C-alpha cells in the first residue's frame, strides 16, 4: 500500500477501504473537515452519502447492514453531530445491528475544556455500544478500525463508536499498513458448543408431542435459515417467528405458523402456551414476545440457544441453555432429530388460525367499512410485489400491520426497529437498504407521525435518486398511541390527533412521483403504478382514522388474554 506520509484522516479512509467499505453515510462539520477533505481528494475510493441529519446517517447505516449483512458505517462531527447519532446507536445495540460509527472529537489537548462542539460521546455511548474507543493519535487509527469491524460484526453483532480527536485526523504518519483483527483476548466470538446439551435438546424434541420452535433474528445473523428449515422439516416441528426473525422462513412454508407476541398471530401464541417442548433460538424473550412473564409457557420444557451468554437465563431460565452459533447448533441437531407425525398438534394450530382469520384477518383484508385499512394496502403491495420486496417500516400501527401482512420468500426481507421502537427509523433505513441492494425492490411503510421525524431525508432520496417506494399510511393520528388511548384511556386522545401538511406537495418539492389514494377502488392501480414507475415513488393512502391493530395482548397480560376487538 501507500508508503509516503499520509494524514490520520487518510489512514482512516484507507482502513475503511481495507475492510471492504465503499459507502459511508454522514454529515460534515468543523472537527471532521480533515476526513471530508480526504474523501474529496480520494473520491474514487469511497462514496459518501450526505444525509440531511446525522440520525438519518445512522439509520441508513443500519438499513444498509440489515439488508446486506455487511457492517454499515456512518460518520459525524463532534458535539451535536455525534449526539445526533445516539438514538440510532441505541437502536442498533438492542437490535444487534453491526454498524461502525466514526465521530470526530475536539483536539486531545482541548478535551475536558468545554471546547466548541465538545461532547463526551464515549461516556454517552458506553451503555449502548458493544465497544467504543477514543483515538488520540494518528498511528492508532488502523488498529482501532480493525477492532471496530471485528467486534461489530462477530458474535452477537452490534454498534461500535470510534471517536477520533482532530489532532489525530491531521497528524501525518509514515506509510500505511493494515492488519485485519480476528481475535481478541477476553472476547470469544465463537463459543464451542456443548455437545451434551445439544444431545439432550434433541432427546427432548424427539420425545415431544407438541413441540414448537420460536426463532428470532439470530437465524438471519448467523445465516442459519437453511439449518432451521431442515430441522423443522426433518422433525416435523412447527416454527414461529419474532418480529425481527420474520422472513428467515418463507411465509408459505407448511411448518411456519406465524409471528409470536403482542400483535402476533393467534396460533403461535396459543401454541406457546400449550407446547410441551419449546426450542427458542436466536431470540431474547422480549416482553413484547412473552407478555406476563410469570404466565409464559409455564407448561413447556424450554431449550434456549443463543450466541450471547448474557441472554441465557436473563429473562427465563431454560431447562437446557446452549451457548453458541445458531447455524452450527441447528446443523448438529438436525442429524439426530427424528420425524414424528403430529396431526393433532398441527390441526390445533389450524383451528387457532381459523379463529384469527374470522375475527381479524377477514375484517382487515376484506373490510366492509368505507375507509381503506392499513392491512389492505400492505396485502395489496405484498401481492403485487410477489413476496420479493424488502419491506422497511417505521414504528406504530403500520409497522405491526406490515409485519403481519407482508409476504416473504427470502431472508432479510423485513427491516424494522424492534427493540427500541424508534419512530423516524423507516425512511433513512429504507434509503440505506436500497443503496446496499440497488437491484431489489425496497418498500417503506410509514405513518404520518414517524415520517415527519426524519422527513428531511427526502432530500437524500432526491440527491441520490434513491429508488425507494414510500407508502405513507396516513390516519392523521399518532395511531399506535391513539390505539392505547382508545382501548385503555377511554378515548381521551391527548396529543395524538395531528394536523398534517399536504404530503403530495412535499413529495412534489422533492421531485418524487406521487399519488394520494382515498378510495378502495383506486388502490390496486396506484400500487401497480408505484411498483412499475422507475425510481422513487410516494404513495399516500388515507386510511381509517380510528382503526386498531388486532389481535392484541395488552401490555403485562398473559399470552392467553387476547383482544380481538375493542370490546374484548
Ligand atoms: C422517537 C419516538 N417517539 C415516540 C414514540 C412513541 N410512539 C410509538 S408509536 C407512535 C405513533 C406513531 O404514529 P404514526 O407514525 O402516525 O404511525 P401509526 O401508528 O399511525 O401507524 C408513537 C408516538 C416512539 N416509538 N418513538
Angle, in degrees to the nearest 10, between helices 374-385 and 397-405: 40
CB 71 within 8 A of CB 152: yes
Catalytic positions: 54, 116-117, 166, 480
- Atom index in ligand 1 nearest the CA of residue 421 equals 25
- Atom index in ligand 1 nearest the CA of residue 422 equals 26
Torsion of CA 277, 280, 284, 286, to 10 degrees: -50
Gap from CA of 480 to ligand 1 centroid (Å): 6
Handedness of CA 363, 368, 372, 376 (dihedral sign): positive
400 burial level (CB within 10 Å; 0-12, 13-18, 19+): buried
Count Cβ atoms below 10 Å from residue 126 Cβ, excluding itself. 12
Does residue 561 sit in helix, strand or coil? coil
Lookup: cell for 164: 477520533
**What is the C-alpha separation between 337 and 236, in angstroms, rounded?**
9
Gap from CA of 494 to ligand 1 centroid (Å): 14
Tell me how many degrees the CA angle 142-147-151 measures, rounded to the nearest 5.
155
Cβ(421) – ligand 1 distance below 6 Å: yes
List per-residue pLDDT tens for the chain, 568 residues long: 546 899 999 999 999 999 999 999 999 999 999 999 999 999 999 999 999 999 999 999 999 999 999 999 999 999 999 999 999 999 999 999 999 999 999 999 999 999 999 999 999 999 999 999 999 999 999 999 999 999 999 999 999 999 999 999 999 999 899 999 999 998 999 999 999 999 999 999 999 999 999 999 999 999 999 999 999 999 999 999 999 999 999 999 999 999 999 999 999 999 999 999 999 999 999 999 999 999 999 999 999 999 999 999 999 999 999 999 999 999 999 999 999 999 999 999 999 999 999 999 999 999 888 999 999 999 999 999 998 999 999 999 999 999 999 999 999 999 999 999 999 999 999 999 999 999 999 999 999 999 999 999 999 999 999 999 999 999 999 999 999 999 999 999 999 999 999 999 999 999 999 999 999 999 999 999 999 999 999 999 999 999 999 999 999 999 999 999 987 5
Neighbour order of strands in the sheet with 442-447: 414-415, 390-393, 442-447, 469-474, 537-542, 514-517
Cβ(467) – ligand 1 distance below 6 Å: no
Please choose from 429, 446, 450, 550 the residue to mutate so as to test ligand 1's pocket, defined by most ligand atoms within 8 A of CB: 450
Cβ(426) – ligand 1 distance below 6 Å: no
Nearest to 353 by CA among 296, 406, 404, 302: 404
Count Cβ atoms below 10 Å from residue 548 Cβ, excluding itself. 18
Gap from CA of 422 to ligand 1 centroid (Å): 8
Tell me how many degrees the CA angle 3-181-128 measures, rounded to the nearest 5.
120
Lookup: cell for 509: 418539492
Amino acid at each position: 500500500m501507500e508508503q509516503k506520509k499520509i494524514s490520520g484522516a487518510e489512514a482512516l479512509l484507507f482502513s475503511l477501504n481495507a475492510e471492504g467499505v465503499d459507502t459511508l453515510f454522514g454529515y460534515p462539520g468543523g472537527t471532521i473537515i480533515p476526513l471530508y477533505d480526504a474523501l474529496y481528494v480520494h473520491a474514487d475510493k469511497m462514496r459518501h452519502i450526505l444525509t440531511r441529519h446525522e440520525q438519518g446517517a445512522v439509520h441508513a447505516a443500519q438499513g444498509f447492514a440489515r439488508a446486506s449483512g455487511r457492517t454499515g458505517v456512518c460518520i459525524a462531527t463532534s458535539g451535536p453531530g455525534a449526539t445526533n447519532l445516539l438514538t440510532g446507536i441505541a437502536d442498533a445495540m438492542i437490535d444487534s445491528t453491526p454498524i461502525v460509527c466514526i465521530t470526530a472529537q475536539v483536539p486531545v489537548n482541548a478535551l475536558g475544556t468545554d471546547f466548541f462542539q465538545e461532547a463526551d460521546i464515549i461516556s454517552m455511548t458506553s451503555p449502548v455500544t458493544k465497544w467504543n474507543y477514543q483515538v488520540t493519535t494518528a498511528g492508532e487509527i488502523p488498529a482501532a478500525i480493525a477492532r471496530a469491524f471485528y467486534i461489530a460484526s462477530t458474535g452477537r453483532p452490534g454498534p461500535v463508536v470510534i471517536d477520533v480527536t482532530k489532532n489525530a485526523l491531521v497528524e501525518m504518519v509514515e506509510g500505511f499498513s493494515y492488519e485485519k483483527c480476528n481475535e481478541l483476548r477476553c472476547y470469544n466470538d465463537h463459543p464451542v458448543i456443548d455437545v451434551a446439551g445439544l444431545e439432550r435438546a434433541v432427546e427432548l424434541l424427539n420425545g415431544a408431542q407438541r413441540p414448537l420452535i420460536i426463532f428470532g433474528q439470530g437465524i438471519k445473523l448467523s445465516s442459519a435459515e437453511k439449518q432451521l428449515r431442515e430441522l423443522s422439516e426433518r422433525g416435523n416441528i412447527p416454527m414461529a417467528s419474532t418480529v425481527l426473525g420474520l422472513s428467515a422462513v418463507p411465509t408459505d412454508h407448511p411448518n411456519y405458523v406465524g409471528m409470536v407476541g403482542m400483535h402476533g398471530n393467534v396460533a403461535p401464541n396459543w401454541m406457546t402456551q400449550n407446547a410441551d417442548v419449546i426450542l427458542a433460538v436466536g431470540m431474547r424473550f422480549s416482553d413484547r414476545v412473552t407478555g406476563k412473564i410469570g404466565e409464559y409457557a409455564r407448561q413447556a420444557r424450554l431449550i434456549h440457544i443463543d450466541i450471547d451468554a448474557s441472554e441465557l437465563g436473563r429473562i427465563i431460565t431454560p431447562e437446557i441453555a446452549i451457548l453458541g452459533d445458531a447455524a452450527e447448533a441447528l446443523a448438529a441437531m438436525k442429524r439426530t432429530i427424528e420425524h414424528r407425525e403430529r396431526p393433532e398438534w398441527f390441526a390445533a394450530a389450524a383451528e387457532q388460525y381459523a379463529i384469527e382469520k374470522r375475527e381479524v384477518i377477514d375484517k382487515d383484508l376484506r373490510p366492509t367499512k368505507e375507509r381503506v385499512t392499513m392491512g389492505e394496502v400492505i396485502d395489496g403491495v405484498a401481492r403485487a410485489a410477489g413476496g420479493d420486496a424488502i419491506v422497511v417500516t417505521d414504528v406504530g400501527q403500520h409497522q405491526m400491520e406490515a409485519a403481519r401482512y407482508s409476504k416473504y420468500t427470502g431472508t432479510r426481507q423485513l427491516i424494522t426497529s424492534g427493540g427500541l421502537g424508534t419512530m423516524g427509523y423507516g425512511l433513512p433505513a429504507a434509503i440505506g437498504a436500497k443503496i446496499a441492494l440497488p437491484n431489489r425492490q425496497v418498500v417503506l411503510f410509514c405513518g404520518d407521525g414517524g415520517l415527519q421525524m426524519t422527513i428531511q431525508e427526502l432530500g437524500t432520496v432526491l440527491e441520490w435518486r434513491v429508488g425507494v417506494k414510500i407508502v405513507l399510511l396516513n390516519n392523521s393520528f399518532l395511531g399506535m398511541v391513539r390505539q392505547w388511548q382508545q382501548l385503555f384511556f377511554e378515548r381521551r386522545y391527548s396529543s395524538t390527533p395531528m394536523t398534517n401538511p399536504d404530503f403530495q406537495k412535499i413529495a412534489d418539492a422533492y421531485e418524487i412521483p406521487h399519488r394520494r389514494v382515498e378510495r378502495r377502488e383506486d388502490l390496486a392501480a396506484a400500487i401497480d403504478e408505484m411498483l412499475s414507475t422507475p425510481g422513487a415513488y410516494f404513495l399516500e393512502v388515507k386510511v381509517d382514522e380510528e382503526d386498531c391493530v388486532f389481535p392484541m395482548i395488552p401490555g403485562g397480560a398473559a399470552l392467553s388474554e387476547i383482544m380481538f376487538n375493542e370490546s374484548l
